[in-house]
Amino acid sequence: MALSRSLAVSLAILVVLLWWAPTTHARRSDVRIITDGNWKELLEGEWMIEFYAPWCPACQNLQPEWESFAEWGEDLEVNVGKVDVTEQPGLSGRFIITALPTIYHCKDGEFRRYQGPRTKKDFINFISEKEWKSIEPVSSWFGPGSVLMSSMSALFQLSMWIRACHNYFTEDLGLPVWGSYTVFALATLLSGLFLGLCMIFVADCLCPSKRRRPQPYPSKKLLSESSQPLKKVEEEQETDEEDMSEEEAASKEGTNKDFAQNAIRQRSVGPSSATEKS
């Protein structure tokens, strides 16, 4: 009997433990995991988001407080989430994470950085008493959804992709480090040449050079208009030539008259001088 009772007690304890384990596991799921795929959910409703890294000691100390605060999320009508920056480098660039852990409050797309004490009680008071209203929100230029931050996120993702490729070249393919750098240098040069050619082609299409522009044929109106001043110039030249010819003719006549008068005078003077000599 004693053995049966002990077995029954042990079985009951085992059942209680098995029942309690999934409930505790469900409580931990109150903190939602935010990734590049679902981060736009932060733009709706009220959120508290923690950016952390598994290797960060301060982040590890904060986890129990953050988990217990998440249990109050339903009562406070606030969503609690966290982002692992080692797994989501794009989000770390989108939110400009420079220190760990970093906590943001979001209300209908407006982001504010939380800089108060990091305890469960302080988190609850921050939401219940609406202390976030005293904090100036992040400018729209630097908001996570802006073009600037989207490009920053793309750069962070590109850097992680380059790092993954470098590890693949050196670890999986067995290339030396200088060989991996050579591959990236050649890829950079080729991509730069390709982009330069594309830009030149686009610029040539949008703004063609004057030499290559087809010259339009002159129309009849343009020919007639351009021929009119030429005709005027020719007419003026003809009138000038006529005036010159008239002046020359007049001057010739004048010289002929003078020559005839001088000849007559010389003839008249000749006989008179002969009579005087005789």
Angle at 212 between CA 206 and CA 214, to 5 degrees: 100
CA nearest neighbour of 51 among 8, 94, 21, 15: 94
- The CA–CA distances, whole Å, from 59 to 50, 77, 151, 163, 170 equal 9, 24, 27, 25, 32
Q: 125: how many CB neighbours lie within 10 A of its CB?
A: 14
Q: What is the pLDDT of residue 146?
A: 72
The rounded distance, in Å, linking the Cα atoms of 51 and 99 is 9
- The CA–CA distances, whole Å, from 206 to 192, 196, 199, 201, 202 equal 21, 15, 11, 9, 6
Could you tell me which residues come within 8 angstroms of residue 164 by beta carbon, excluding any fewer than 6 positions away?
A: none
Could you tell me which residues come within 8 angstroms of residue 146 by beta carbon, excluding any fewer than 6 positions away?
A: 140
What residues act catalytically?
Answer: 56, 59
Element (H, E) at 111: strand 110-114
Q: What is the pLDDT of residue 222?
A: 47
Q: What is the pLDDT of residue 61?
A: 94
The torsion angles phi and psi of 32, rounded to 5 degrees, stand at -85, 140
The torsion angles phi and psi of 82, rounded to 5 degrees, stand at -150, 155
* Partners of residue 254 on adjacent β-strands: none
> For the segment 46-55, what is each residue's pLDDT rounded down to a tens digit?
999 999 999 9
Could you tell me which residues come within 8 angstroms of residue 156 by beta carbon, excluding any fewer than 6 positions away?
A: 89, 90, 92, 93, 94
SS3 (DSSP) at 46 = strand
The rounded distance, in Å, linking the Cα atoms of 150 and 163 is 20
Query: Two tokens at 102?
Result: 């970093």
Q: Are 67 and 123 spatial neighbours (Cβ–Cβ below 8 Å)?
A: no
- For the CA atoms of the chain, what is the radius of gyration? 50
pTM over 0.95: no
Q: What is the pLDDT of residue 43?
A: 87
Q: If you ran DSSP here, which 8-state letter would residue 136 be given? A: P
Q: What is the pLDDT of residue 59?
A: 93
Ranges of residues in the chain whose predicted pLDDT is under 50? 1-3, 7, 9, 11, 14-18, 20-28, 218, 222-223, 269-278
Residue given tokens 């053995």 in the structure block: 3
SS3 (DSSP) at 3 = helix
Q: What is the pLDDT of residue 274?
A: 41
The rounded distance, in Å, linking the Cα atoms of 31 and 73 is 9
